[in-house]
Structure 1
Amino acid sequence: MRLFMVLGAVIIITLIDASFSAEESKHVPSIGGFPMRHKIEKNVLSTIPSRRPSENHGSNIGNDPLTERSNKLEKKKLSVVHSSIQAFSADSNPLLKTAENEDIKTLKPSQFNKNRSNSRKKAHPRKKSHKPVPVVSPVKGISSVQTSGAAPLLPDRPVLTIKIYEPGHLNKEIDIKRICGYGGKYLKLLILITSAHSHFTARMSIRHTWMNYGRRRDVGIAFVLGRTTNASLYESLNKENYIYGDMIRGQFIDSYINLTLKTISLLEWTDTHCPRVKYILKTDDDTFINVPKLLDFIDGHKDNRTIYGHIIENAKPHRQRAYKYFLPYHQYGGSVYPPFVTGTAYLLTGDIVHELYVHSLRTYYIQLEDIFTAVLVQSLKIKIVNAGSFYNTRIPFLPCRIRNAISVHDIKENEIYDIWRKQMDSTVKCN
């Protein structure tokens, strides 16, 4: 019985072996009419290093031109699908729509800045470029992409400032420690000078004269500018700031009609980098500031929540578009402006900076900076005090008149040197 079982097993094995041999002869190339043995092929293959399935995929057909074309078509399809997915993700990202859809009464500026920051992190990566990137407003239908000096395309309806203002600054080259060290702990006065990109000569004349008081431990002085879409001008500003480190640059496009955004930008910078400063003077680059007189003025006033400057009352809006100070009805509908300090030079107590910045974002945008500030002051019940030594116009360049003035407006670059010399002339005695 055992013998028959052994013989049966041998016969079955023989038949199976013959079947495999016949199958191999159909597919394996032959040499001399005899099929190559499977063992020989196995031995040859064993000398090739093994690969992971993902590495070996397509390795034998990659040189086929038809296969190459099909692979390229497949990659192109995958690329299109991937791009569509990315676009869908960006459009559906709720963080990108927060500023438009969320109730402004419940949206804090810090939350808005956080949302804007998160949305940038989730945006598609881009290559770094030294060219200025135009700023696009988050408001639908509004774009602030323009050349320096052009007016933004604002809607013909009221719009909240938070929908227009782009927070943040280009602080790469600025010397923050020199301008406002320790958050303004030892700083009595911070002077912020609004300047235009092309006003290089005006900035240099200020640096050579009254800006020298910025070397004092208790005084910090810096210029405030916006962005530009002019590549050569952008590089020139980078070089200037690398040398002097005294230019604060916001994210808005720098133009006359964006002066309100520039004022908000300097409030934001002060609130972020110099929150402990006692007083802030906002002025323009065509204004001469008598810093010693200003410091004496500060020592004689110990008020809180106050703005000092040249006050104008009962002024009426100009509705003609050709006029420089034109203001449309949808930005301000009143027939008379509230009392306001002229924007050429005014002094703020440090305790209202944060409040002004936060409230400015929740206020409807007004393109005239003086009037926008007046609306904020009225809403926040901040006191404004008229100071006769803040001159909104030119005055005779007499030594004693200059020494008794805190600010003199409408000064040309070359005139600043003459005023500075007369202020510093110790041979002239004044009563």
Structure 2
Amino acid sequence: MVQESGDGEKRSQGLSNSGFEWRSPRLLVCSILLVLLLFYYIDYTQFSEKWATTISLVLTETFTSQTTNTSLALGRLSTPPGPYYVAYPHKYEFVLNEPEKCKQENPFVVLIVPVAPGNAAFRDAIRSTWGTEKLVEDKVVSLLFLLGLPCPKEQENLQESLLQESEKYHDILQSDFLDSYHNLTIKTMVMLEWLTAYCQNASYAMKVDSDVFLNVKRLVNMLLSAPKENYMTGLVTRGGMVMRDPRSKWYLPKQVFAPARYPPYTLGLAYVFSLDLPAKLVEAARHVKAVYIEDVYLGLCMKHLGISVTNPSEGGLFNVYPVQYNRCRYSKLITTTTRSLRGQIRSWKDLQTPGSPC
């Protein structure tokens, strides 16, 4: 220890004897000028962005597609601004994209299914059932699945599988946010951004959960006479109570949202909207702080825009509780939640059998 102290003193003395003592006025002035010169040449914006990326964002590994030989850097997971808010607005990038989908297919309605990266069984079930309905009443229907990033523990193997799935089906959109329940609002806003950027030629879009049975024919039939602008419908909730119990899955404290009731909104399990709305909602999101309850948040953005959600043209079209299968009943509804993936497949196949359903 004494020897180390002595060495330290010798090193200090060596620096002083070599002319590097900070008490030299000439050296002090030169150092200040050097620092100022560095600040002059450094792009402060880029420096800040790199610093934020290093501190706030999680960089994940790079995966390479063998068919395209393109390195996909997975991405940047923004730090949430709090337990009841999400990191939006934020510049999220697409890891997997289908930018020509709408140009090539020219759809009347685009179906977008938010689904977890690991839920390949649900994607396959939809591709083999209502996702096969591409032309209804001479109207083109397009299907896309929307994913975030898998959790870091399963990322490498799962991401390679997703790349292969994307190359096979060309129906996957994946953005560089962490796919989680808390980030559903981010997922929804990324969907709206994609529609704004790549799908302006469609008339309508529908967000539909992966565990929902969808009657595509009934949906298209309803949309043939639907408004072309400022239109959003589904299972509309009016006067919804704000959950103040901290144990609730949808808890929001008063300091986050003071009113006791929410403005009208469509339940997130399935809603359809005209394609003028995505750009308007993305703009509204710049002025409305993003809470984690995604369907409520869209309702808040609609209120900011002064646009009312629309009640369905008929009762019973959208159902939050599972409707027991009946061929006649299912031919008249648009969506219902289902109790099992197997039941969803069985119901759709039975509904396709020839003959009148009622």
TM-score of the pair, normalised by structure 1? 0.63
Partners of 2:353 and 2:242 lie apart in 1 by: 43
Partner Cα separation in structure 2 for residue 157 and residue 395 of structure 1: 32
Per-residue deviation at 1:187? 2.0
Unmatched segments (≥5 aa) in structure 2: 1-34, 54-58, 64-71
SS at match of 2:95: coil
Aligned positions, number: 301
The Cα of 1:392 is off from its aligned counterpart by 1.8
- Write the distance in 2 (CA, Å) between the matches of 1:411 and 1:225: 23
Query: What's the counterpart of residue 333 of structure 2?
Result: 405
1:333 to 250, 258, 279: 258
The alpha carbon displacement at 1:247 in A equals 0.9
> Contact (CA 8 Å) 2:114, 2:207: kept in 1 or not?
yes
Q: Partner of 1:154: helix, strand, or coil?
A: coil
Q: Secondary structure at the match of 1:261?
A: helix
Q: Aligned letter for 2:81?
A: L
Matching of residue 377 in structure 1 with residue 302 in structure 2: yes
Find the aligned partners of 1:376 and 1:356 in 2 and give their Cα distance.
Answer: 6
- 1:197 corresponds to: 117
Aligned counterpart for 1:295 among listed residues 220, 228, 246: 220
Q: Is the 8 A contact 1:398 1:422 kept in 2?
A: no
Query: Residues 258 and 367 of structure 1 are in contact (CA less than 8 Å); yes or no, is this contact kept in structure 2?
Result: yes
Report the CA distance shift for 1:243/1:215 in structure 2 as closer, same or farther (over 3 A): farther
**For the Cα contact (< 8 Å) 1:189–1:218, is it kept in 2?**
yes
Contact 1:160 1:361 in 2 (8 A): no
* Aligned Cα root-mean-square deviation (Å): 3.1
1:87-236 alignment runs, 5 A limit = 93-95=44-46, 97=48, 129-130=62-63, 133-137=74-78, 143=79, 153-155=80-82, 161-162=88-89, 165-171=90-96, 174-177=97-100, 179-181=101-103, 186-214=106-134, 218-228=140-150, 229=152, 230-236=155-161
Amino acid at match of 1:200: A
- Aligned amino acid, residue 291 of structure 2: I
Distance across 2 between alignment mates of 1:129 and 1:158: 29
The question of whether the paired residues in 1 share the 8 Å contact of 2:125 and 2:341 is answered with yes
In structure 2, how many angstroms separate the alpha carbons of the residues matched to 1:322 and 1:238? 38
Q: SS of the residue aligned with 2:309?
A: strand
Work out whether residues 147 and 174 of structure 2, in 8 Å CA contact, stay in contact via their aligned partners in 1: yes
Alignment of 1:265-414 (within 5 A): 265-387=190-312, 388=315, 389-414=317-342
Does 1:257 find its partner at 2:177? no
State the shift of 1:347 in Å. Answer: 0.8
Counterpart amino acid of 2:76? V
For residues 322 and 134 of structure 1, the distance between their equivalents in structure 2, rounded to whole angstroms, comes to: 32
Larger Rg: 1
User: Does the alignment pair 1:246 with 2:179?
Assistant: no
For 1:5, the equivalent position in structure 2 comes to none
Residue 396 (structure 1) shift: 1.4
State the shift of 1:303 in Å. Answer: 4.3
| Alpha-carbon shift at residue 338 of structure 1 (Å) | 0.9
- Which protein, 1 or 2, shows the higher relative CO under an 8 Å CA cutoff with sep ≥ 6? 2
Between Structure 1 and Structure 2, which shows a larger proportion of helix residues?
A: 1
CA–CA separation in structure 2 for the residues paired with 1:245 and 1:351: 25
Q: CA deviation at 1:325?
A: 1.6
Q: Is the 8 A contact 1:194 1:224 kept in 2?
A: yes
* Change in 2 beyond 3 A, CA 1:334/1:239: same
Given that 1:210 and 1:420 are in contact with CA atoms closer than 8 Å, whether structure 2 keeps it comes out as yes
Residue of structure 2 equivalent to 1:10: none
Conservation of the 8 A alpha-carbon contact between 1:132 and 1:234: no
Deviations 1:244-290 (A, max 9, x none): 11111112110011000000010011111111211011111011111
How much does 1:211 deviate? 0.3
Distance across 2 between alignment mates of 1:391 and 1:261: 25
Counterpart of 1:427 in structure 2 is 355
Give distance in 2, aligned partners of 1:93 and 1:190.
42
The CA deviation at 1:215 is 6.1
CA spacing shift, 1:194–1:97, aligned 2, 3 Å: same
Gaps of 5+ in 1: 1-83, 99-115, 121-125, 138-142, 144-152
CA 1:218–1:89 in 2, change beyond 3 Å: closer, same or farther? farther
- Give the corresponding residue for 1:60: none
**Aligned-residue offset at 1:354:** 0.9
Equivalent AA in structure 2 for residue 135 of structure 1: R
Identity %: 22
CA contact (8 A) 1:135 1:252 kept: yes
Deviation for aligned residue 1:393: 1.8
CA-to-partner distance for each residue in 1:285-315, whole Å, 9 max, x for gaps? 0111111111110112234211011111222
